[in-house]
Each structure stands twice: as C-alpha cells, then as structure tokens.
C-alpha cells in the first residue's frame, strides 16, 4: 500500500502511475551530483589542523598548536574563544561532549559535560509552561568543568595560557564578519532590554555591520577570573554568586549548591565497526553514539556503493534505517546514570533483524514501528569543531546552548548567556501524541539528571590509525548529518570537502517526513521516493567541520562547512 498525504486527485494519480512504473522497471540509479565547488576549500597540513564555524576560534586553536600545545589544549582554547566569538552556541553557560583520541595506542575517552537538572526541578514543571526563553529552562552549566577535566587528563600547556586568548578577545574586542553581524541583528530584534543592552550595537538602536568591533567587558571579567582561578571561579566563586542572583531575579531554579555539586564525567565512548573501520562516538546521555552505530550496523547489510549516494534506493534505505534508530531512541535512551540502556541496540545481530524489516519497494509508516510512541522536536543551535595535533591526538567537540543564543538570559555582571537545555527532557510525562510530544520515562525530568542529547562528535579509525574527525550541530538532525559524512567517505570514496558539501538526509521517525537538501535532488528521484510512500520536504541541515587523514602521506585535510560560516587552518 502506498501512503499518500492529502493532495489533489491529479497529484495522487501521478504518484500512483509513477509507483506502477517503478514496480515494472529495475531501480533507476542516477549518477551522484558532484557537490564540490570549482574552487577547493580544503586545507592540507602536516603538523596540526583546526576547523570550526568561527574563523577567529580556529585561529586561536592553531596558535595554541604552534606554541606546542596538543589537540586538547587547542580544543579548550577554542571552546573559550568561541564563547566570545560565536555566542549563538559557543558558551560557558551550556554544556556538551568532547571525544578525545589520544593516539599512541591509548583508548579514546569522552568528557561528558552535559548540563543537569537543578535540585529544584520537578518531573512535571513544564506541563503548563515551557516558554523557551525564560530563567526556568536553564540547566546547571557544564562547559567550564568539562574543559577543566579535559585539561587535567590530557592538557599540556598551563590552564591560564589556554583561557587568556578568550579574555583578550572579550576585553579588547574582535572584528565582526558578515555572518555574525547578521546573526546578532536578527536575535537582538527579538530580545528583551537586557539582551539588547548586551548584544545590540548602542543598545540595539543601530544594526551591527561587518567590520564593527565588539567589546564584551563583563564576559572578559568572567573569563579572566576563570583563567586566574580555574573552574572554581565559576562553580564556587564570584561568578556563581552572580548566576544565583540572576536565577532568583528571574524565577530560575539554579542555586549555588547545584553549581558546587556539578561534575563533568569521563566516560567510555560507544564503539562500533563499519566495513573494516572503527567508529567512536559519545554514550548516553548523548543518543548520538548509539543511534550512529545502530544505523551503520543496519546499513552494513546493504551495498550502498553500487547505487551511489543520491539514488532513490540509497535515500530510501537511509530513511528506513533512520526511522528505526530514532524509534529506539525514543523507546530506550536517557541518562544512563538514571535508566538502564539495552546493550543489544549496538549489536550486529539486532541490526540484521532491523535490516530484514526494510522493504525495498515501500516506505514503512512510522506508526507501524511503535504505535505507542511519538517524538518531540529539539533545538538546533549547537556547534562542532575538530582538532588534530602533530602527534596524532584528535579532538571532536560538540557543545551547545540548545536554541540559538540559548534562553536569551544574560547573567548580569558576568556577561554570558544561559542555556535552555531543560527543554530536551520529555516535558509531559505519560503524554504522547501525533504532534510530536513524547512522555516516555527514560528522559523525564529528575534533579541531577542529564537531559538526552543528539550531539555526536565522532572519530573514525582503521587498523589503529586516525581517519576522520567530524560532528555537527542541528538538534535531532545531528546524528544523521554525521552518518552521511561517514558513509560518503567510506562507501563512496569522497574527498573530505565533497563528503561535507554533499546533500544530507534526515528522518527522525516522527513526524513521518523525509527531509533532504533538495536543491541537488533529481526531480525523478523525488518522484520515486514519493511513489514509495515517503513524504519528501526540503530543508538545510548541519554544519560539519571535519578533518580527514590521508593514509598515504599522513597529512591532515581540513574543510569548513560553508552552510553557516567557518574556517580550516593548519600548519
């Protein structure tokens, strides 16, 4: 049976005829459209590489590498710098995951610095009010503790030396490029008076222009305190006092005892294999690692290479695979310190059973996979950056404020934005509906619990050697963006720029929609997908700043994804 949405009868007839034709003929395998631009943006270097959405952040990371710092040092410096230069997602008031590949035969580790629910949080606190821009939606920030733990475990240069570039950028200012000026102007127009005062030019009266210099004195003061006194300044010092005062002023929940109790955690990554490659990604409370490995395991049962990356059959197989993994995400995943996560989700045997349920001739309606569950939306303003040093140590770091510019709440006197990550919990326990609300138990609110995330910083190796460092922002699209980059490299042999530039696919189970960067999708392919029962929509997706290692020369090939902005730089 073909699943059709409500369209005019002529449209339905066309789709039906297309479906009949499709059944009479073998799969039409369209050649992949090359997404690579005429001029290469790939940067090649032998001693180190950094790639991020912020050109200034990238420069800070490379400068640390040049001074003899390792990849973790560079990542820490970039994270703090981007709290200044990319405030939509760079932060000290949010959280994330850092995947570290130490090299030299040492096992990779994940630094989990995801935010936690404050002690005053309650299970049903958002049932009647889930305004995304308020003090109540902020979780206890983890970024500064996360950077501290990474430094203690792997850092080489002194802590202060890593934070001071951010201090100087805030205190002395930096020059806005066009992308950041437009971003600031758009969000300032929607902000409250305090937000306009801090992020607007002349309190929001004038628009920012590319070339303007932006100075952030309050943030500079906070960063200087962190540089000189370590993470304690944030969690037990003067910054904690300012944060608690802001919470009380606006009816928020975070208190100094939440900050004092917060811990970043070192965890073992999720590990999988795919066609001879080893995949490392973060464990829960990130859903990214489990979903990525589950999807790769399912796809391993199909010969993707013969169909090409953008054929109707390949896209159909990806969509069906994504549906199944995201359905499992809703069923099972949450903070593993609070709920038990089934081990079978990443097994080859389970994936083989899942693959066997995929029809080549018809899309599976999402309802049939688990009619009792539906899935909610997630914010998309996250950012990812990748770093590799001259000794082969690599870092994939993804961190976020949740929505663009988080809760839009500035901590007065401290100059930084707070997240709105509490919205990533299942906010209405027991309530699931076709609109996308989900109330399953695994990801409900509890004090001290970490909300489920889609962040998927990923490292790929082969025969013990580094191959790929990647990741992306994009809410629930994150894992699917990473999936496409990985398979573009492994299955289709794309160079790293083509793999990053290539069109992306997203299906998150509910709503039952296949989203594709359709500007490069052949009309005939779209028709075939609709004939199979897919509801196809156009959407931009992801921002995957990536590094590939040439197995012949050992050189690093870095490319910045241009869907937003960015820069790759090496030496």
Tell me the C-alpha distance between 314 and 304, whole Å. 6
Closest by CA position to 458, among listed 292, 287, 275, 267? 292
Tell me the C-alpha distance between 114 and 75, whole Å. 17
Cβ proximity of 35 and 520 under 8 Å: yes
Cβ proximity of 285 and 116 under 8 Å: no
Q: Among the options 143, 382, 477, 487, which is catalytic?
A: 382
Cβ proximity of 176 and 208 under 8 Å: yes
Question: Tokens representing 420?
Answer: 């709105």
Helix, strand, coil shares, percent, the chain, to 5: 40, 15, 45
Q: Which residues pair with 450 in a beta bridge?
A: 116
Tell me the C-alpha distance between 175 and 169, whole Å. 9
Tell me the C-alpha distance between 51 and 385, whole Å. 6
Cβ proximity of 518 and 35 under 8 Å: no
Cβ proximity of 81 and 169 under 8 Å: yes
Tell me, yes or no, if 382 is annotated catalytic. Answer: yes
Phi–psi pair at 345, nearest 5 degrees: -60, -30
Catalytic residues: 382
């Amino acid at each position: 049976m073909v699943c059709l949405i409500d369209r005019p009868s002529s449209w339905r007839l066309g789709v039906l005829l297309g479906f009949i034709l499709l059944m009479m003929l073998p799969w039409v395998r369209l050649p992949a459209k090359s997404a690579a631009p005429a001029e290469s943006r790939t940067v090649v270097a032998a001693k180190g590489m950094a790639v991020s959405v912020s050109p200034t952040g990238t420069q800070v990371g490379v400068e640390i590498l040049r001074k003899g710092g390792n990849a973790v040092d560079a990542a820490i410096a970039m994270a703090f710098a981007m709290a200044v230069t990319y405030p939509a997602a760079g932060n000290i008031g949010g959280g994330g995951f850092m995947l570290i590949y130490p090299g030299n035969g040492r096992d990779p580790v994940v630094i989990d610095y995801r935010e936690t629910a404050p002690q005053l949080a309650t299970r049903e606190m958002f049932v009647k009010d889930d305004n995304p821009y308020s003090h109540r939606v902020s979780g206890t920030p983890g970024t500064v503790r996360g950077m501290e733990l990474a430094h203690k475990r792997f850092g080489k240069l002194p802590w202060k030396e890593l934070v001071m570039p951010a201090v100087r950028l805030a205190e002395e200012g930096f020059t806005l490029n066009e992308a950041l000026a437009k971003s600031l102007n758009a969000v300032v127009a929607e902000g409250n008076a305090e937000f306009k005062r801090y992020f607007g030019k002349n309190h929001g009266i004038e628009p920012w222009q590319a070339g303007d210099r932006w100075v952030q004195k309050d943030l500079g003061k906070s960063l200087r305190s962190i540089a000189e006194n370590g993470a304690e300044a944030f969690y037990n010092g003067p910054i904690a006092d300012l944060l608690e005062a802001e919470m009380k002023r606006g009816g928020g929940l975070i208190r100094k005892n939440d900050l004092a109790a917060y811990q970043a955690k070192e965890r073992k990554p999720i590990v999988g294999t795919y066609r001879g490659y080893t995949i490392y990604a973060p464990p829960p409370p990130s859903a990214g690692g489990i979903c990525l490995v589950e999807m790769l395991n399912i796809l391993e049962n199909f010969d993707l290479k013969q169909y090409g990356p953008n054929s109707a059959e390949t896209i159909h197989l990806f969509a069906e695979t994504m549906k199944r993994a995201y359905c499992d995400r809703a069923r099972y995943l949450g903070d593993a310190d609070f709920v038990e996560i089934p081990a079978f989700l990443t097994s080859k045997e389970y994936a083989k059973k899942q693959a066997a349920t995929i029809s080549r001739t018809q899309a599976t309606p999402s309802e049939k996979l688990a009619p009792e569950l539906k899935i909610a939306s997630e914010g998309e303003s996250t950012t990812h950056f990748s770093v590799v040093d001259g000794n082969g140590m690599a870092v994939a770091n993804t961190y976020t404020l949740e929505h663009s510019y988080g809760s839009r709440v500035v901590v007065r006197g401290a100059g930084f934005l707070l997240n709105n990550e509490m919205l990533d919990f299942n906010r209405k326990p027991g309530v699931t509906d076709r609109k996308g609300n989900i109330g399953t138990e695994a990801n409900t609110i509890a004090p001290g619990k970490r909300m489920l995330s889609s962040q998927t910083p990923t490292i790929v190796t082969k025969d013990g050697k580094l191959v790929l460092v990647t990741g992306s922002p994009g809410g629930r699209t994150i894992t699917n963006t990473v999936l496409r980059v990985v398979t573009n490299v492994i299955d289709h042999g794309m160079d790293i720029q083509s793999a990053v530039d290539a069109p992306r696919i997203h299906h998150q189970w509910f709503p039952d929609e296949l989203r594709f960067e359709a500007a490069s999708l052949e009309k005939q392919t779209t028709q075939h997908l609709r004939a199979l029962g897919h509801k196809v929509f156009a959407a931009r997706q992801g921002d995957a700043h990536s590094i590939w290692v040439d197995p012949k020369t050992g050189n690093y090939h870095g490319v910045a994804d241009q869907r937003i902005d960015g820069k790759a730089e090496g030496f």
